[in-house]
Structures are given as C-alpha cells and as structure tokens.
Structure 1
C-alpha cells in the first residue's frame, strides 16, 4: 500500500492496486472503506512521498521502481526482441528474468537519480 492524494478531493488514501497504465485504481479511503474505481492512478492521484530525516529511502525507491518496471515489461510485447546499449539481450523469456530486468532498470535509474540528490 502507498499513500496517495486524490487530486479532485484532496483526500489522502491508501492505494493497493491499479490496472495496466493506471486504468483502474483500488484504494482504501481515509475512513477505511475499500473502493474499486475507474479513476486512473496516474491522472487522478498524486503519490505522497514521505520524507525522513535521513533523506531518500533508496531501498524503498528501488522496490517502487522495480515494481512499476515489472508491470511495464509484462505489458510490452516487443521487449524480448530488444538489446541494450551493451549488446546484451534482455531476459524477458522467464519470470525470473523479467524480475531481474526490472531490478536492473531500477538500479540504473537510482544511480542516475543519486547524481542529482542534494540530500
């Protein structure tokens, strides 16, 4: 579960799942009531990033990025035919390979983000 703010109402909710490309969103409202809606996770909700005294929680961020990338890998039919800039084949032929690729994407993105981290 992650905290989000509904853009239309400003209510802070706990989103538990959403469809491909955010097509539906399941969440618990501030009163604990479950909702399955047609609201798009990306257009109707804003993620709340809770700050901590120690700065960014990179392990939590890695998990969030990898989770989103795994969904993208699963939904993209052409990925198994692609090669990266080093000439390596992507590992989309198995569940384990897809998971490794999602984490690999997350690691590379985090390294780039850390270059600009002022915290």
Structure 2
C-alpha cells in the first residue's frame, strides 16, 4: 500500500521506447509490462513507473528532475551503462558525501549514479 503523500510512481518520456526498455532491463534488471505500443510500466527499480513514447526526454540542464541511483561499485556501474549504449554526459566527479556520474540512456533521459564508496584499488 502506498504511503500518503510520498512519491509513488514516475514516468519518463522516451524518444526510443524499445531502446529505453532494453537498456533498463539489462542494466538494472527492471521488469516491464506493455500497455499498447506507446507505454510500458516498470517495476524493480526501487519505485514503480513507466516509459511513454515522446519526442522529448528529461535532461537536468533543461530543468527536468534528475533521478539518482545508488551503486556499491561506481566504476562497474559506469562500465555497464556505457556498454549498454548510455552516453556519459558527466564523468565521475566528487561531491559532498561521495562521487557520481551522469548518463543519458538510449531514449534520451539523463540519470545519475552515486556512491559513498571509494574506488576499488
């Protein structure tokens, strides 16, 4: 049961719905349920949500919300998303509390991954 007045669901626009779906499925293990040709719902990302076909996508530089995932191994996460077709738009950088990087998934949405762990030697 969702908690009152908490974020419960999120939707992303995607320029390439099938590419976004494949990316998130392979990168993070999200599971999808299709609702027609222009919408797919996901679960398994710590939050339920969906992807809808759109000519626009979310980018932080344009005022879009930035979704930030956590990783135990930031370098391994960067390698994985790069191998699956993500474009790294901000390489790993430090910030108060840890390190992170930003990437754009194949459907055009910018996300970030952060870690409070130091790089593995």
Asked if these proteins are the same fold (TM beyond 0.5), I'd say no
Would you tell me which structure has more strand in proportion to its own residues?
Answer: 2
Per chain length, whose mean CA-contact separation is higher, i.e. which structure has more relative contact order (CA < 8 Å, sep 6+)?
A: 2
* TM bucket, shorter chain: under 0.3
Please identify the structure whose Cα radius of gyration is greater.
Answer: 1
Would you tell me which structure has more helix in proportion to its own residues?
Answer: 1
